[in-house]
Amino acid sequence: TPLHPFLAALPKCEHHLHLEGTLEPELLFELSRKNNITLPASTDPAFGSVETLLARYKTFKNLDDFLGYYYIGMSVLLHASDFEALAYAYFSKAASQRVRHAEVFFDPQAHTSRGVDLAALVEGFKKAQARARADFGMSTELIMCLLRHLPPPSAMETFSQAREAGYFADGTLAAIGMDSSELPFPPPMWKDLYDAAGSGGIRRTVHAGEEGPASYMTQALDLLDAQRIDHGIRAFLDEDDKLIARLVRQKTLLTMCPLSNVKLNVIPSIADFPLKKLLDAGVTFSINSDDPAYFEGYILENYCALQEAFQLSVRDWESIAKGAVMGSWCSESRKEELL
Ligand code: ADE
Ligand code: ZN
């Protein structure tokens, strides 16, 4: 597209990126050999090779079909050095696409349930963050996501463990989030957890309105006091005008992921992404990559896919980029630098 060089050079913020979703098949197989983790190739031939796995990633039926591969893939991660390698590979790739500030998710329960210590995860990620700062001048924040498909007490226990380790107080973790399957696990299930975070002054975001209806987004705001919503596309697909007006009024950041939405069949094609509605309504949103190793595109590919479908102006993109800076969870002085 004609704007490609402009989009490539545009300074970016990423707010919706699962570190485990950046595990490229090459590193997945390398770590499975190194750590002696057997992949289920006997029951699923997709795990036979890098090529068969990439071919399998071409189409997912829905969120859960993808999540099956996502959780098996991340089972090869064991040591602090594995988590450091994963995160640093992502930060390097993001720097090459001019990401200046990244707020990234990880799923502690998916690792602690396999016997990996929370401290090992944090140690590896922090080393990668320090290298990203030194090598690329990139600011990064970690957001701990709790898993909806596990029982609420497991989420509460993981949150408490992180809080008792001082990770929120010392800035190691910037916020909590909530991810995994959406429809069977609505926001009311997580009220105690979000109340505990809110009363402790801890920032809160929630994946909502991806496969779940717009009403889950309203519940996330009302019951969980969410300060940000990850995805939130269903407000527009369901045409919930009252909710949209509220998002505008409250300046709630929506961290949107267009290529992910197409790959997981939330929308039939990129042309169905409600970009014009977002811009016309004046919603604060950012464009992000979600799980780039699985969805055939990092942040720049998401920007370019939208540009090809919608032919935005330079001014549209500058206003999207500015909204992303303003919605970031960084200091006011860092925002000045990013603007
Ligand atoms: N975990 C990783 N990617 C996710 C997504 N798009 N939705 C919910 N949970 C996820
Ligand atoms: Zn996500």
Q: Are 37 and 76 in contact (CB under 8 A)?
A: yes
Q: Are 108 and 122 in contact (CB under 8 A)?
A: no
Please name every residue paired with 253 in a beta bridge, in sequence order, or none if there are none. 228
Token pair for residue 160? Answer: 């408490």
Is the CB of 258 inside a 6 Å radius of any atom of ligand 1? Answer: no
State the sign of the Cα–Cα–Cα–Cα dihedral 163, 164, 170, 173.
negative
Give how far Cα 315 sits from Cα of 6, 18, 216, 279, Å.
11, 29, 33, 12
Whose atoms come closest to the Cα of 181: which ligand?
1
**Mean pLDDT, residues 57-80 taken together:** 98
Residue ID of nearest Cα to ligand 1 atom 1: 180
What pTM does this model have? 0.98
Task: Enumerate residues 6+ apart whose C-beta is below 8 A from 328.
Answer: 13, 15, 101, 103, 334, 335, 338
CA distance 317 to 86: 30
Look up the ipTM and state it.
0.99
CA dihedral of 166, 169, 175, 176, whole degrees rounded to 10: 40
Residue 246 pLDDT exceeds 90: yes
CA distance 231 to 34: 35
End-to-end CA separation in angstroms for the chain? 25
List the domains of the chain with CATH numbers.
4-330 (3.20.20.140)
Known catalytic residue: 210?
Answer: yes
Widest CA span in the chain: 53
CA distance 55 to 50: 9
pLDDT in tens, 108-134: 999 999 999 999 999 999 999 999 999
pLDDT in tens, 156-172: 999 999 999 999 999 99
Is the CB of 31 inside a 6 Å radius of any atom of ligand 1? Answer: no
Question: Which backbone phi and psi does 95 adopt, to 5 degrees?
Answer: -60, -40
* Separation of CA 58 and ligand 1 centre (Å): 17
Residues with CB under 5 A from ligand 2 (ion): 290
Is the CB of 230 inside a 6 Å radius of any atom of ligand 1? Answer: no
CA distance 98 to 13: 9
pLDDT in tens, 228-243: 999 999 999 999 999 9
- Which helix (H) or strand (E) is 285 found in, with range? strand 285-287
* Separation of CA 13 and ligand 1 centre (Å): 19
Give how far Cα 284 sits from Cα of 53, 102, 246, 257, 317, Å.
36, 17, 11, 14, 13
pLDDT grade for 2, boundaries at 50, 70 and 90: confident
Whose atoms come closest to the Cα of 180: which ligand?
1
